[in-house]
Structures are given as C-alpha cells and as structure tokens.
Amino acid sequence: MADIGTEFRDILVFYLGVDESMLTENARFYADLAADSLDLFEVVVACEEKFDIDIPNDALAYFETVGDFLAYIEAKVHADHPGLPAGIGTPRNTAAA
C-alpha cells in the first residue's frame, strides 16, 4: 500500500477538484478548499473503501483541516487510537463569524 497521506491526497484531489498544492496540513475544507458537505461525504466513502475503515457519520464535524482528517485516518488504519486523535477538540462552529 502506498503512503496513507499520498493516497488520502489523491482522494481529495479527485473528489474536491483541487490542485494538490492546495492540500496543506492546515488547509480548511470549507474556507480554503471550497468543499461542501456532499464533497466531504464522498471523501468519507472513498476513504472507508480505500483504507478499509469505518468513519462515524458525526466524525466530519471534527475535521476542519486536511491534517485533522489525515490524523484520524492514520489512527484508524494503525489502530493506535480508538476514537478521534488528540488535538481535535469540539466540532467547528459552522455559524458565520
């Protein structure tokens, strides 16, 4: 299997239609990558299939950045952490600031 980060970025490029150079660890799905909830749902399904993991429906609320989502996938794949990785706090505030 290729590097998890590389495979994840390939999924994001395909489903979000963004250039790979935009996929930094701190890139925010909604603000920086212009993703919507359907885009992220498709990414979740693709990741579940590619990495043979289950991602709970409510987990997306915790993934504000590419790095958040990648850390979760790596933890699930390696079974190092049964829940969300450390550093991911409460769901993001989706209300306009």
Residue ranges per domain, the chain? 4-78
Which range among 13-17, 67-71, 78-82, 92-96 shows the weakest confidence by mean pLDDT?
92-96
CATH fold of 4-78, please? 1.10.1200
Residues carrying an active site annotation: 36
The pLDDT tens digits of the residues spanning 68-78 come to 999 999 988 88
Burial of 19 (0-12, 13-18, 19+ CB in 10 A): exposed
Beta-carbon-side half-sphere exposure of residue 43 (alpha carbons within 13 Å) = 26
The pLDDT score that the predictor gives to residue 78 is: 82
Look up tokens 């590419």; give the residue: 66
Inform me whether the pLDDT recorded for 95 exceeds 80. Answer: no
The pLDDT score that the predictor gives to residue 57 is: 83
Q: How confident is the model at residue 82 (pLDDT cuts 50, 70, 90)?
A: low
Q: Output 6 or 91, whichever has higher pLDDT.
A: 6
Inform me whether the pLDDT recorded for 20 exceeds 60. Answer: yes
Sequential DSSP letters for 45-56 = HHHHHHHT----
